[in-house]
């Protein structure tokens, strides 16, 4: 099918509902013990298909992104299913998001009648899709990183038939660590900093362009900070359990999580992004702002989605176990998921049928009139890749 064909499609909203048997609720949504996943089917008119391209992001919100609409206009049947944590990741447990994605895929097959599923991991959905597929192929996880029972083998996960990673990063915990402000020395006092690691201090002697030695030192300090927070989290959980309050939780704030040298020095992991900004705007402001990564978290959520050493949804480890064809698309002007993430994911894919495509000039969201050509190229790449592997509409 020509990539220039533009078809009408229907956007069909629906809910995927299932009973949540977790020991306690960690988010609003649904009623009583039920989880309700807000979902959308973008269905081309008069063009049946046995294949659905399924998107889910850990915190959702992408059903109206340019990519989703363009894929449907090109004739692809697209499902965007929001997780239970739509828009709020404070208490997010990645194992529960896997459960959500499994419920969406089961519904697509059993109720909507799609016999083939192509998982599409957009941005943070990349590592989620990889984690899901790994566990659907051969489940091994029986508990969350906090030690709470959660046996993925009991969920009856349906493996996908193909997988796409679109402008994806390696993992939530890996990305957070690469974005953490390495200068913060005291989590209770974010103004206590190492001045030689403070990217936003004009008095810092280390200024762009950064030396390789400085970047290496900064990366080591970022990992060390993540591990300090993780050690504190584990100690808090241990104290709660020792006092007989094992089901209780604690919320906390992590300041300074938007300080990646990439945003200030375009020579670090170079591509065509605009220097001095990130996908949230001015990184100096976002670094301490309310929507920075991991700003608000619970103890269990930190271990499941943000801990450098403990989180299970690690894109690189999970990609090595893939048993299905995989397409990896990187965006050439992306300021969120930069080239090293794209290439690390591609190299990690264990299935021999893997394809890498870089879209020159494409930004993370394909937003704006100058992104029409990059978006068309990305959609054509997806559509042609699907067609060659039998994941096409029935023309």
Does 146 map to a domain? yes
Among residues 155, 114, 148, the alpha carbon closest in space to that of 310 is found at 148
Domain final position from 291, 306, 321: 306
Q: Are residues 301 and 341 in the same domain?
A: no
Q: Rounded to an integer, what distance in angstroms lies between the CA atom of residue 67 and that of residue 313?
A: 24
Cβ-proximal residues to 312 (8 Å cutoff; 6+ apart), any chain? 94, 95, 131, 141, 145, 304
Task: Give the separation between CA 192 and CA 186, rounded to whole angstroms.
Answer: 6
Q: What does the alpha-carbon distance between residue 170 and residue 166 come to, in Å, rounded to a whole number?
A: 11
Whether residues 143 and 35 share a domain: the answer is yes
**Nearest residue to 269 (alpha-carbon basis) of 344, 203, 196, 195:** 344
Same domain, 38 and 136: yes
**179 and 166 within one domain:** no
* 207 and 284 housed in the same domain: yes
Whose tokens are 């990673």? That residue is: 165
Residue 134 domain flag: yes
Instruction: Judge if 136 and 195 occupy the same domain.
Output: no
In a domain, 394, yes or no: no
* Domain-embedded: residue 249: yes
- On whether both 162 and 248 belong to a single domain, the answer is no
**Is residue 4 situated within a structural domain?**
no
Same domain, 278 and 361: no
Same domain, 257 and 165: no
- Contact between residue 96 and residue 18 where contact means Cβ atoms under 8 Å apart: no
| Whether residues 214 and 276 fall in one domain | yes
Assess if residue 69 is contained within a domain.
Answer: yes
Domain total in the chain: 2
Tens digit of pLDDT at every position of the chain (395 positions): 333 457 899 999 999 999 988 777 787 665 668 899 999 999 999 999 999 999 999 998 889 999 999 999 999 999 999 999 999 999 999 999 999 999 999 999 999 999 999 999 999 999 999 999 999 999 999 999 999 999 999 999 999 999 999 999 999 999 999 999 999 999 999 999 999 999 999 999 999 999 999 999 999 999 999 999 999 999 999 999 999 998 899 999 999 999 999 999 999 999 999 999 998 999 999 999 999 999 999 999 999 999 999 999 999 999 999 999 999 999 999 999 999 999 999 999 999 999 999 999 999 999 999 999 999 999 999 999 999 999 987 65
Element (H, E) at 56: none
376 vs 304: CA distance, rounded Å? 36
Range list of β-strands (E), the chain? 9-19, 34-44, 51-55, 78-81, 116-122, 162-166, 251-253, 296-298, 326-331, 354-359
The string over 141-177, giving b where at least 16 C-beta atoms fall within 10 Å of a residue's C-beta and e elsewhere, is beebbbebebebeebebbbbbbbbbbbbbbbbbbbbb
Among 256, 274, 306, the domain-final residue is: 306
Q: Is residue 369 part of a domain?
A: yes
Q: Is residue 51 one of the residues assigned to a domain?
A: yes
Q: Do 190 and 226 reside in the same domain of the chain? A: yes
The CATH number of whichever domain residue 349 belongs to comes to: 3.40.50.1820
- State the pTM of this model: 0.96
Q: Domain range for residue 159?
A: 9-171+312-388
């Amino acid at each position: 099918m020509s990539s220039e064909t533009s078809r009408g499609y229907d956007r069909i909203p629906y809910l995927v509902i299932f009973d949540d048997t977790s020991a306690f609720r960690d988010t609003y949504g649904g009623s009583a013990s039920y989880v309700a996943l807000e979902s959308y089917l973008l269905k081309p008119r008069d063009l049946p298909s046995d294949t659905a391209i399924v998107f889910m992001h850990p915190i959702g919100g992408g059903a109206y992104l340019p990519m989703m609409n363009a894929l449907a206009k090109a004739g692809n049947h697209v499902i965007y299913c929001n997780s239970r944590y739509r828009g709020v990741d404070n208490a997010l447990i990645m194992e529960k998001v896997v459960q959500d994605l499994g419920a969406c895929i089961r519904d697509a097959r059993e109720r909507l009648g799609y016999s083939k599923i192509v998982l599409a991991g957009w941005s943070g959905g990349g590592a989620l899709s990889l984690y899901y597929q790994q566990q659907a192929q051969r489940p091994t996880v029986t508990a969350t990183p906090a030690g709470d029972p959660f046996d993925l083998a009991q969920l009856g996960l349906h493996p996908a038939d193909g997988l796409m990673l679109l402008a994806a990063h390696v993992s939530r915990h890996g990305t957070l660590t690469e974005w953490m402000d390495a200068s913060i020395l005291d989590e209770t006092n974010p103004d206590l900093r190492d001045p030689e690691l403070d990217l936003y201090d004009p008095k810092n002697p280390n200024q762009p362009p950064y030396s390789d030695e400085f970047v290496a030192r900064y990366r080591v300090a970022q990992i060390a900070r993540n591990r300090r927070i993780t050690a504190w989290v584990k100690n808090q959980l241990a104290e709660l359990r020792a006092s007989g309050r094992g089901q209780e939780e604690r919320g906390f704030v992590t300041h300074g999580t938007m300080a990646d040298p990439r945003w200030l020095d375009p020579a670090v992991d170079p591509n065509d992004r605009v220097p001095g900004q990130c996908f949230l705007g001015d990184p100096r402001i976002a670094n301490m702002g309310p929507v920075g990564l991991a700003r608000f978290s619970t103890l269990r959520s930190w271990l499941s989605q943000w801990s450098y050493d403990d989180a299970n949804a690690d894109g690189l480890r999970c990609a090595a176990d893939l048993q299905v064809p995989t397409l990896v698309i990187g965006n050439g002007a992306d300021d969120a998921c930069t080239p090293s993430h794209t290439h690390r994911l591609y190299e990690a894919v264990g299935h021999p049928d893997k394809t890498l495509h870089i879209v020159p000039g494409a930004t993370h969201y394909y937003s704006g009139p100058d992104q029409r050509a990059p978006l068309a190229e990305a959609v054509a790449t997806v559509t042609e890749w699907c067609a060659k592997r039998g994941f096409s509409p029935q023309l």
